[in-house]
Structure 1
Amino acid sequence: MKQAVIGILAHVDAGKTTLAEAMLFDAGQIRTRGRVDNGDSHLDTDAIERERGITIFSSQAVTERGDTRFMLVDAPGHVDFSAEAERTLQALDYAILVVGANDGIQGHTETLWRLLDRYNIPAFIFVNKMDLENSGREAIAAELQRRLGEGCLDAEELLSEGPAQEAAAALDEGALEEYLDEGSLSLPTLCRLVRGRALFPCFYGSALKDQGVAELLDGMGKLIEERAWPGDFAARVYRVSHGDHGERLAWLKVTGGVLRAKQLVEGIAASEAWRDKIDQVRIYNGSRFELAQEVPAGSICAVTGLSHVRPGDALGAEPAGISPMIAPVLTYTVLPGEQDVHAVYVALSELADEDPMLGVNWNTHLEQIHLQLMGAVQLEVVERLLADRFGLAVSFAPGGILYKETIAQAVEGVGHFEPLRHYAEVHLRLEPLSAGSGVEFGTVTSTDELDLNWQRLALTNAMEREHLGVLTGSPITDMRITLTGGRAHAKHTEGGDFRQATYRAIRQGLMEAQAMGAAVLLEPWYRFELDVPGECVGRALADLTRMGAEYEPPVIAGERATLSGRVPASEVQDYALDVAAYTSGLGRLYLELSGYAPCHDAECVIEQTAYEPEADLPNTPDSVFCSHGAGYTVKWNDVPAAAHVRVDSATFRPWRPADAEFFGR
């Protein structure tokens, strides 16, 4: 049989889970269709999902139709859980994007569409809720082509050699030649166009009324290509969760060879090599599962026994993945109340192990836990998980924007740690990278200048923690940190000495950048599209100007106007409520994270934060030197002159990333 892993994606309330239920029912996998509003849907297996009526965690089911085996993955639709949806994409061969006929393409729909393009995943479109009042099939088709692309064509016409075939032929030179020669496109050609993301067949119906669902299943069965997989074992982790008995589950897409129970798997976590044995291999259908002895490439499964993996990890011959596009923009302070703060931190760290986008940071200076996440609904889910799984009743201070920091020009950082009978010195170059690059680590230091083992140790220390900037104490990003030199002592150097020297070198470099005026505060910005009645354009323009938005001139279409551009996340948090009020419910605001960019009111934010980097002793920029048998502190601005090593660029080697090969694994 042909087989494919197919994800079902949509903005919230488009009917995604209802479609999944209808597909399983039509294929004979379930006897009765569950309802989201009744709390009995087959794929919303978690109690919180059933209570809230939304999908929070991706879940899977396996079914067959004709000669095709579908492994369905139901991904979250709410924007607060879009990071979970993005991780799910790494397991997919194809996707179904569900669009509500009654409310059209939403802002989050376009975010999902861009994610599908980013991960190069072929897609089918199912226009749901055609039984409700809508603008009509022709108008919906035109909107799909205008907003998503000209390859969005009617599946029924494509498969029946209707007019859509001529439009499909225009998408590809080879297809055009075939159409001109034969008068139609063959099924293999249509499959090729779908697989190559040139063609996106569109199906129409109502999942709730079981209209168009059989056509979707049959059409996908015809248009899906059989895929060849490599022979060497490879897999990618797309989710981590815990089972009913507390066992840790790693959800995998096998992308090469065969995965077997009791198989040994190796990997690297935090620069440390690990080796675990897979215990059980489970094939899930909703909340139920069957044990398997092996799973071939192209399949998804959950396994027990892998204690080190995190979502996004590559196993075996699987190459490293691309960095996620979606990231948290809000930060909350945990209020533990009567709970032990360290127990709360351990519990949150376990939740962050399942969701890497859930940032958990312990502020040693303030003795507080700070939580980074997507929004208020996700916060409520975290609060509920802490209570249900760990028995911890906590609350949270009001959320704020998660700022980040970077630098505008290259600086040198020096760290020295030499209390009595200890010694390490580290020199680093900090350079700015393009927006969205994160933090990269590497070395140009010759092994003649610093032994490879010490280089590895210094970079391991640099990579093991999140480093804070010196403007507001926010995490640094978009920066390359390069080891340029250092020194160890044959007798007195211990491993922790390089940790101290490395931390201090990074902070010292950041202080140098601040002194040069090259430290930059970043804030999250949203791409927005604001659709309002024509008479409300003046109010909308005034609001956008007040919020510091960057926007294009309004586009007028009939009695409506559309404005688009970028706006600081800090200014637009509750603006959707204002739009609904001043347009009497006729306006709509679409938001999508654009990324981090320089803060529009940096001076004000820095002043309000009142962060004192030199008073943050756990992140000190100062160094420790030794004289007459006693250690003494040297202030950060005097450290370069007091340093023992003089870095000579003539000795540099080509830049080498601190990757698995560098660490000898």
Structure 2
Amino acid sequence: MTLILIAIGRVIGCYSYNPFIFEKGMIILKKIMIGVIGKTGSGKTSLINSFSTISNHEFEFIDTPGTLALADQIEEKTSNLDYAIFVLPANEKFSGESFALWQLLKYYQIPTFIFINKVDLKTWDKKELDQNLKEQLGSSSILFNDKLRDESLEEIALQDEVLLDKYIKDGHISEEDIRELIAKRKVYPYYVGSALNRDEISTFFNGIKRWYELSNKNKSSKTQRFFDASFIYTVKVKEDDISSCIKALRKIENENPRLNVKWIKQLDEIQVNLMGDLAGKVLEDRLKKDFNIQAQIVPAQPLYKETVNSSVEGVGHYSPLRHYSEVHLIIESGKRGSGITFDADCPWTVLPRNWQEVVHQEILTEEIPGVLIGAPIIDLKFTLIGGISNLAHSGSEDFRKSTRRAVRQGLMQLKAMNQCQLLEPFYRFKLILPEENVGQAIQDISQMSGEVKISDHRGSIVTLTGMAPVSEMQNYQKKVSSYTHGLGYLSCVFAEYRNCHNASEVIESYKYDPENDINFPIDSVFCLNKINTQIRWDQVDKYCLYPMKN
């Protein structure tokens, strides 16, 4: 037995792929992993079931979800395949989802066989089918059968310059050459049949058996996922379950980092990234089954933010009895995407270093809200230019309170000058749909205050790309599905914050009153004649002790 094993090891050692593994003293044949890919209703499961009636020791056929709402699961299975079978229903138009799945196979460079299924439901013309397939998937899609015709051999030869020269010279293509072209994704053999009726299933199975290459190992080295797009969803649970739900979601996030679990303090809600409503239902079931948490997952409301379009000096004073602090800040707009930045242009002889550090930390760590709707502020630069302390009465908390007041007082000045700006999140989107629906899509996106362009047009399928507000795009997939009759596919990913397209409407709906926000007051507190006195934000400049810059 030992000599036999050594001999076999020497034989198989000459191949780049070892088809055998040794387990518990036995030689076991590794099976070729073949994923069956296709949209819901294409007949993937029927095809796998039909293969089960055929003696099979070489292949393991792996079913994949048929909806891109479960793109994470599809991609997880696809990235480690040896080969793929791409199933297309003959009785349906080529859809946006199908095109996206085809692009996934291209991204991971998976050698692919194509099966045109359900031909029993439609009278089909070989020439028309071939033409349509080439329009959608390219000229490398070539009809195979038991015996390759001369016209198919010519098409195969045209896919490779070296092979074409060889074919012209010899008039012959070897099976090894064809296998190599398939393995390198230069040729996609397609077969026609009916999985449900088992028409041509044996022919297709034998074709895979004949044309796959044993040494092909396409384990992907890709570090970035193909489906990076997702929609933002809110996870609603009982208040008592919030902490345990976040912990559970963190565990799930370890398996799927794109879940991107966040606690949004301003909205008091948990948010996650998902591919669609169905993925939300799957996550609800997972939380219930594995963690006994009853959750409702719904499309999230957009998280608005606020910035400014001009600059101003903000003043905050806090000196009730036995307390003392005053802070002067220049507040100005920063570069879009810069976040919150801080600088100091104030000598330590004016305001000691320790108090300047308190101001610095308060600006960078405290989420001080804006004055339009109380949303987080962003893309602002703060420069400390002055302040006053008292050796006996100043404390860190005093300077934290005067810093918040300085920020809020400056923002109120800018609001009065109409220089506060509401921002909203924008998605970067890709919309794949039939060409007859392009006009509808462009009109819709324009009405959303979005930007759109045609980035690809292949056969009857068009790809639109652009940017649009999250508030408008969040539920647009349902409308796309309706007007394309299920043939359109929309994917979105957060891109950036831009000026809110309907700011007045949003501000009115929030009904936020900064003067009644007791957590972040806009007025200052002075000790006048030994009496604690609140001074309105628009009068502070008349009472402040450190001189105003302007």
TM band (smaller chain) = 0.5 to 0.7
Q: Given the alignment, which residue of 273, 282, 285 partners 1:372?
A: 273
Q: Which residue of 2 aligns with 1:33?
A: none
CA distance in 2, matches of 1:563, 1:169: 29
Deviation at residue 554 of structure 1 after TM alignment = 13
CA distance in 2, matches of 1:530, 1:393: 39
Q: Which residue of 2 aligns with 1:662?
A: none
When residues 77 and 142 of structure 1 are mapped into structure 2, their CA distance, relative to the original with a 3 A threshold, is same
Secondary structure class of the residue paired with 1:340: helix
Q: Given the alignment, which residue of 39, 49, 62 partners 1:11?
A: 39
CA distance in 1, matches of 2:504, 2:80: 42
Query: Does residue 1:354 correspond to 2:343, yes or no?
Result: no
Q: Given the alignment, which residue of 170, 178, 185 partners 2:166?
A: 178
Residue type at the aligned position of 2:491: L
Q: Deviations over 1:526-577 (max 9, x none)?
A: 22334449xxx8766644542445245999x9xxx98653353754565676
Q: Deviations over 1:271-298 (max 9, x none)?
A: xxxxxxxxxxxxxxxxxxxxxxxxxxxx
Q: Given the alignment, which residue of 500, 504, 524 partners 2:428?
A: 524
Q: Which one has more relative contact order, counting CA pairs under 8 Å at least 6 apart?
A: 2
Query: Does residue 1:566 correspond to 2:470, yes or no?
Result: no
Secondary structure class of the residue paired with 2:263: strand
Deviation at residue 154 of structure 1 after TM alignment = 0.3
**Structure 1 residue ranges without an equivalent (≥5):** 28-62, 230-252, 256-317, 427-466, 477-514, 618-665
Q: Which residue of 2 aligns with 1:343?
A: 244
Query: Does residue 1:96 correspond to 2:85, yes or no?
Result: yes
CA distance in 2, matches of 1:528, 1:402: 27
Deviation at residue 140 of structure 1 after TM alignment = 2.3
When residues 139 and 606 of structure 1 are mapped into structure 2, their CA distance, relative to the original with a 3 A threshold, is farther
Q: Given the alignment, which residue of 430, 452, 467 partners 1:550?
A: 452
Q: Which residue of 2 aligns with 1:25?
A: 53
Residue type at the aligned position of 2:80: A
Provide the TM-score with structure 2 as the length reference.
0.60
Q: Which residue of 2 aligns with 1:73?
A: 62
Deviation at residue 376 of structure 1 after TM alignment = 1.0
When residues 20 and 182 of structure 1 are mapped into structure 2, their CA distance, relative to the original with a 3 A threshold, is same
Residue type at the aligned position of 2:212: I
Give the CA RMSD over aligned residues: 4.8
When residues 543 and 563 of structure 1 are mapped into structure 2, their CA distance, relative to the original with a 3 A threshold, is farther
Q: Given the alignment, which residue of 130, 146, 150 partners 1:141?
A: 130
Q: Which residue of 1 aligns with 2:118?
A: 129
Deviation at residue 600 of structure 1 after TM alignment = 7.4
Q: Which residue of 1 aligns with 2:491?
A: 593
Deviation at residue 100 of structure 1 after TM alignment = 0.9
Deviation at residue 199 of structure 1 after TM alignment = 0.4
CA distance in 2, matches of 1:218, 1:169: 22
Matched-pair contact (CA < 8 Å) for 1:361–1:371 = yes
**Structure 2 residue ranges without an equivalent (≥5):** 1-18, 20-29, 307-333, 345-352, 362-366, 380-418, 520-550
Provide the TM-score with structure 1 as the length reference.
0.51
Residue type at the aligned position of 1:167: E
When residues 472 and 144 of structure 1 are mapped into structure 2, their CA distance, relative to the original with a 3 A threshold, is farther
When residues 382 and 598 of structure 1 are mapped into structure 2, their CA distance, relative to the original with a 3 A threshold, is closer
Residue type at the aligned position of 1:75: T
Query: Does residue 1:160 correspond to 2:58, yes or no?
Result: no
Matched-pair contact (CA < 8 Å) for 1:403–1:475 = no
Percent identity among equivalent residues? 24
When residues 412 and 77 of structure 1 are mapped into structure 2, their CA distance, relative to the original with a 3 A threshold, is same
Q: Given the alignment, which residue of 189, 206, 213 partners 1:225?
A: 213
Matched-pair contact (CA < 8 Å) for 1:403–1:474 = no
Secondary structure class of the residue paired with 2:53: helix
When residues 12 and 588 of structure 1 are mapped into structure 2, their CA distance, relative to the original with a 3 A threshold, is closer
Query: Does residue 1:151 correspond to 2:140, yes or no?
Result: yes
CA distance in 2, matches of 1:408, 1:98: 45
Q: Which residue of 2 aligns with 1:211?
A: 199
Superposed, 1:53-452 pairs within 5 Å as: 63-64=56-57, 69-133=58-122, 135-156=124-145, 159-227=147-215, 321-337=222-238, 339-364=240-265, 366-400=267-301
Matched-pair contact (CA < 8 Å) for 1:330–1:402 = no
Secondary structure class of the residue paired with 1:163: helix
Residue type at the aligned position of 1:526: K
Q: Which residue of 1 aligns with 2:350?
A: none
Deviation at residue 84 of structure 1 after TM alignment = 1.8
CA distance in 2, matches of 1:552, 1:185: 40
Deviation at residue 16 of structure 1 after TM alignment = 1.2
Moved more, 353-362 or 180-189: 353-362
Secondary structure class of the residue paired with 2:286: helix
Q: Which residue of 1 aligns with 2:318?
A: none
Q: Deviations over 1:344-389 (max 9, x none)?
A: 2222222223333323222345543212211111111211222222
CA distance in 1, matches of 2:377, 2:130: 45
CA distance in 2, matches of 1:531, 1:209: 33
When residues 213 and 396 of structure 1 are mapped into structure 2, their CA distance, relative to the original with a 3 A threshold, is same
Matched-pair contact (CA < 8 Å) for 1:8–1:73 = yes
CA distance in 1, matches of 2:273, 2:82: 31
CA distance in 1, matches of 2:500, 2:113: 44
Secondary structure class of the residue paired with 1:25: coil
> Which structure shows the higher helix fraction?
2
Matched-pair contact (CA < 8 Å) for 1:339–1:393 = no
Matched-pair contact (CA < 8 Å) for 1:362–1:368 = yes
Matched-pair contact (CA < 8 Å) for 1:111–1:592 = no
When residues 352 and 606 of structure 1 are mapped into structure 2, their CA distance, relative to the original with a 3 A threshold, is farther
CA distance in 2, matches of 1:5, 1:358: 27
Deviation at residue 419 of structure 1 after TM alignment = 8.5
Residue type at the aligned position of 2:154: E
Matched-pair contact (CA < 8 Å) for 1:566–1:594 = no
Q: Which residue of 2 aligns with 1:464?
A: none
Residue type at the aligned position of 2:89: G
Residue type at the aligned position of 2:63: D
> Which structure shows the higher strand fraction?
1
CA distance in 1, matches of 2:251, 2:337: 37
When residues 117 and 160 of structure 1 are mapped into structure 2, their CA distance, relative to the original with a 3 A threshold, is same
CA distance in 2, matches of 1:110, 1:11: 10
Secondary structure class of the residue paired with 2:121: coil
Aligned length: 399
When residues 228 and 17 of structure 1 are mapped into structure 2, their CA distance, relative to the original with a 3 A threshold, is closer
Matched-pair contact (CA < 8 Å) for 1:12–1:77 = yes
Matched-pair contact (CA < 8 Å) for 1:17–1:74 = yes
Secondary structure class of the residue paired with 1:388: helix
Q: Deviations over 1:205-250 (max 9, x none)?
A: 1111112222222111221112277xxxxxxxxxxxxxxxxxxxxx
